[in-house]
Structure 1
Amino acid sequence: MKVARWLPCILVQLAAGSPCDDRYAAWVTDREAFQRKDEPRHLSGLHIVCVWKEAGRLRLEAHMNGVLEKDPLRSDLDEALSLDWGQFRNSLQGALRFTKATYEWGNFHLKQPYGIFAETGRRLRSGTEVLDAGLVLVVEGGQWFWPPVRIGYVRQLPGTPYMLETVSVQPVLFRVRGFLREEECRVIIDMAAPNMSDSDVVQTEKHYRENDTDLRTSTQARLHSSVNPLLQELDLRISNLTRVDVAHNEEVQVLRYRSKEFYAAHTDNFDPKYYENTDFIDKGHRNRLLTVFWYLTNVSKGGETLFPRADGLPPPKDMRSCERGLKVRPEVGAVILWYSLRPNGNGDPNGLHAACPVEDGEKWSANYWVWNKPRDLLISLPDADVDEEYHGEQPVTSNHVSATFRNEHPFPVYLFWKPPHQAREAFMGEISPQAAVSAQTFPLHTWHIRMGADPSSELVAVQEIADQPEQVFVLSSGSGPDEL
């Protein structure tokens, strides 16, 4: 059995306040926002941490489990900053006092290492980066997790034109209006329409059902990103939304609900207790982290997405009923995002959801699932705990790049991504004067800066991404279409 090699940390009584006092409000949630009485009133495994240097020592303050505390945890990490990354991580973990053993699944060697992130969602890779960031989010489950803050909270997504609106705290549920353009919705529907078949239900090995139509009556088509440049663009756009690498994304499942068609309440993640063979989900530690659900049409009446455990309601007795719970009405171009796992990697039963019957019209929508581990690649994460990697004999290093484009012109410019081997450019957003936009990308990807939001507008600059984890490009009067 592996024993965590924590370095000693000294608990101290620090002076009231920290350099992050004015930054916490965007990340912590008031305990009163958690309405359920049958589970802890916090975000298990998400810690809002401030790290700074003072009087020759490295100080730490933490609001544990994403909740604003009157007396946050305070600690002195001593000289941990001078240690190597593995030792620094162990020292930080010791100060926050958490372990991998957060659930009854066992096999914790299969659980991925915890992650440390800047406020932009960028994964940090050294103690120096943590100190430079000051405020960081520590996520025990290993992948970025958007804190809900409170119902109605609206967050401008860094590096995008999109606004992330909190719809619910339990479940953690967000909405982004206008994420898809109407013409994009029509293209997706046209691609899927000739390939529709009856929707099935993933049967559990211990609860097999003969008839799927008892639970689900829609039709569906799966579309792999390779079939169309638009889907490749959406892969990248959703990765920017979730702050999770594209390699974690499952192919999109387009859905059509006609009159009276529905899907009974269910969760999207796989609970190991319902399966005899759990190797395909690493005994539970490889799972669907979140769902980005696309609304491709409006619906005149019915067709809402229902969350029956929202607002502190008890588990529903009838999984087909749409009478109680939080309903999200279909709105063409909008997406909703909810987490099926808690920040510590455990399943979240509050992610239970249903598709209410369509009463008037036809509903087109799509499931887009993001996993907590890569779907097809064996990756050794850059923040892997000492001697711990993803399973696989020959893991490879992730080459994900965070690119920032800064506009020093007195006028706005427009950022486009040029998909590999495709003529069509993908519009990614406006860069205001003296402002910057960040994007998740990969080495050898090409980005275009144009004078207008149309891909036929004047080309100002072209930038190819190098093989470095962080890159900043400044657009100034000396830049031309050959270099940035």
Structure 2
Amino acid sequence: MGKGTKPKPNGGAGSGSAKKPAPANSGGSSSLASAETLRLLWMGSAVAIAVAIAVPFTLRTLAAAPPTASTMPSSSNAAAEMAREPPRSPARCIDGWAECPRVPGADWVALAELEAAVKMAEFDAASIEACLGPTPLLSPEPVQGMHLLCVLPPPRWRRENEDEVRGGEEAGVAAMLAIFPMMERRERPSRVVMLPSLSKADDIITVLRYKLRFPSRGPKYQRPALFTEDGVRLVKAEAALGRGNRALHRLLCLEGGQWLWPPVEKGHVHIIHNLTAPGVDTRVVTVSLKPLVVEVENFLSAEESKYIIERASPHMEKSGVALKDADIGKAAKEFRTSSQYFLPTTRDPMLEKIDRRVQYLTRIPISHAEYIQVLRYNHMEHYSAHHDFFDPAAYASSPDMLASVEHGARNRLATVFFYLNNVTNDPDVTKGGGQTNFPRAATSEFPQGGPQPYDYFDCSKGLSVYPQEGKVIIFYSMLPNGQMDDFSLHGGCDVLDPSATKWSANFWLWNKPYQFNDAARKTSTAMLQQQYL
């Protein structure tokens, strides 16, 4: 209200005198007043509705619009102000400015225009064929959280109604990613992403998280990561985009941030050179896609297997279990009857060598591993079907357990299971028993995975892997997206031969570093990290 002005009387501007409100129930004139009142109320409601609709729309429009000169910082500290602001470079972002990927130097309008143009263009068939072969990586079934990225050079393109052929570099494109989401087997990629010139592989992840709509699960969870097809982690964008090394033309993005061997299909073989000995090729064979299980024969020598047994034998004691809320009060022998010992690997040259070999087999730093759990199963001893991960929902009454797994953000990722002896010398290995059984594994009867077992001691369903001295299997308790895999349910079956003993060992690897950080493991982890590109 301006200085010196007086409030107007009731009735608004221009009214000569205040109108008295009509008395209630004042006969015939009241009906006219009521009608006028209703008309005014109706008009007011209509205006309110229009405003309610228009304001959010206007705000969204303003949020999505490129900045004008009046919105740009005008002070000498403009750069500092821009750094504190949400990204303001022109963009076509799905959810507005606040959701734009925060990467430096990206002209998102030019990139979006180029992506739209390339979607309608023909791909270079030779480049796609080179990416998909000669070693296949795609699977007949989707692999949740694992994506194949074909790194292609910036495309040549032209705008509609233009004859001029342009290079992708003109739009600030450093490379084009042709993406096969979830490793699904198909002839052509289903997504194309243009990448600006970036300095860190983590910036590429930021773009992929936005473009592929990866779910955000909180700061305690692992960020997605990029790897070569052999499991070498990529930390520099230059290496990821293959600059100066066009042989590096395909990458894998794993949403869970840790390496798992691509399953491809049952019977597929990955080759690792010089793992067990110089000049020796190690075969990593897929035996199941759901759950993901691979096996490696002759991973341990006979000498190494015997050494582990001898080291652990004097210390074996009855195995315990971490009881879930529903099982509190039950005895461990209701679930398992084996014996165990956690064998420290520190200051033991042979065990430290096995540590390093496990690290290079799994591509997971040994700092993520527990000590070896050596197991002994005598006649008719077993372990009922269980998971190796710790489901937070099953330990709600245990604060210590919930804290140790960070309410699900930290958990067991993979189990490397050693078979240290042959349970039977009979050519028919089934007669000895002692197999590792996965009751929910996909089969011809249940191609999408089996149901929950009625009897957790029943080893007749799903997949069974029988003991063979020196062999290891890797089964993954987590999917590549970092979620727990319910199909990884597994058990140790009865040893059937009365005179036989089964010796085996667990090597549990977590998705985050474990508490054992002795000097040897730190050194081994550093050796692996030196291979990062």
Match of 1:66 in 2: 183
Judged with a 3 Å threshold, the aligned counterparts in structure 2 of structure 1 residues 81 and 73 are, in CA distance, closer, same or farther, namely: farther
Identity among equivalent pairs (%)? 34
Does the 8 Å CA contact 2:233/2:532 hold for their aligned counterparts? no
Are 2:507 and 1:368 equivalent residues in the alignment?
A: yes
Q: How does 1:305-320 map to 2 (within 5 A)?
A: 305-310=436-441, 311=443, 312=446, 313-320=450-457
Does the 8 Å CA contact 2:269/2:283 hold for their aligned counterparts? yes
Match of 1:19 in 2: 127
Does the 8 Å CA contact 1:120/1:158 hold for their aligned counterparts? no
Match of 1:293 in 2: 417
Are 2:302 and 1:182 equivalent residues in the alignment?
A: yes
Judged with a 3 Å threshold, the aligned counterparts in structure 2 of structure 1 residues 89 and 192 are, in CA distance, closer, same or farther, namely: same
Q: How does 1:84-483 map to 2 (within 5 A)?
A: 85-101=201-217, 108-132=218-242, 133-160=248-275, 161-226=281-346, 228-276=348-396, 277=399, 278-300=402-424, 301-310=432-441, 311=443, 312=446, 313-360=450-497, 361-376=500-515, 441=524
- 1:27 positional shift: 5.0
* Mean Cα deviation higher: 221-230 or 67-76: 67-76
Q: Which amino acid aligns with 1:44?
A: Q
Q: Which amino acid aligns with 1:121?
A: G
**Local SS of the residue matching 2:234:** coil
Are 2:146 and 1:46 equivalent residues in the alignment?
A: yes
- 1:211 positional shift: 1.3
Q: Which amino acid aligns with 1:30?
A: S
- 1:118 positional shift: 1.2
* Mean Cα deviation higher: 157-166 or 186-195: 157-166
**Local SS of the residue matching 1:331:** coil
- 1:141 positional shift: 0.3
Q: Which amino acid aligns with 1:95?
A: K
Q: Which amino acid aligns with 1:344?
A: N
* Mean Cα deviation higher: 211-220 or 274-283: 274-283
Judged with a 3 Å threshold, the aligned counterparts in structure 2 of structure 1 residues 208 and 363 are, in CA distance, closer, same or farther, namely: same
**Local SS of the residue matching 2:232:** coil
Please give the per-residue CA displacement for 1:246-294, whole angstroms capped at 9, x wherever unaligned. Answer: 1111110000000000010001011111112311111101010000000
Q: Which amino acid aligns with 2:484?
A: G
- 1:324 positional shift: 1.5
Judged with a 3 Å threshold, the aligned counterparts in structure 2 of structure 1 residues 308 and 83 are, in CA distance, closer, same or farther, namely: same
Q: Which of 75, 100, 106 lines up with 2:192 in the alignment?
A: 75
Equivalent-residue separation in structure 1 for 2:471 and 2:379 (angstroms)? 22
Judged with a 3 Å threshold, the aligned counterparts in structure 2 of structure 1 residues 189 and 469 are, in CA distance, closer, same or farther, namely: closer
- 1:299 positional shift: 1.0
Judged with a 3 Å threshold, the aligned counterparts in structure 2 of structure 1 residues 470 and 146 are, in CA distance, closer, same or farther, namely: closer
**Local SS of the residue matching 1:289:** strand
- 1:470 positional shift: 5.8
Does the 8 Å CA contact 2:145/2:256 hold for their aligned counterparts? yes
Does the 8 Å CA contact 1:77/1:92 hold for their aligned counterparts? no
Judged with a 3 Å threshold, the aligned counterparts in structure 2 of structure 1 residues 269 and 183 are, in CA distance, closer, same or farther, namely: same
Q: Which amino acid aligns with 1:307?
A: F
Judged with a 3 Å threshold, the aligned counterparts in structure 2 of structure 1 residues 130 and 196 are, in CA distance, closer, same or farther, namely: same
Task: Please identify which structure carries the higher strand content.
Answer: 1
Larger radius of gyration: 2
Equivalent-residue separation in structure 2 for 1:229 and 1:441 (angstroms)? 13
- 1:93 positional shift: 2.2
Equivalent-residue separation in structure 2 for 1:196 and 1:155 (angstroms)? 36
Aligned positions, number: 375
Judged with a 3 Å threshold, the aligned counterparts in structure 2 of structure 1 residues 468 and 248 are, in CA distance, closer, same or farther, namely: closer
Equivalent-residue separation in structure 2 for 1:362 and 1:131 (angstroms)? 52
- 1:46 positional shift: 0.4
- 1:441 positional shift: 4.9
Judged with a 3 Å threshold, the aligned counterparts in structure 2 of structure 1 residues 306 and 245 are, in CA distance, closer, same or farther, namely: same
Does the 8 Å CA contact 1:77/1:91 hold for their aligned counterparts? no
**Local SS of the residue matching 2:422:** coil
Judged with a 3 Å threshold, the aligned counterparts in structure 2 of structure 1 residues 190 and 155 are, in CA distance, closer, same or farther, namely: same
Judged with a 3 Å threshold, the aligned counterparts in structure 2 of structure 1 residues 20 and 180 are, in CA distance, closer, same or farther, namely: farther
- 1:19 positional shift: 2.4
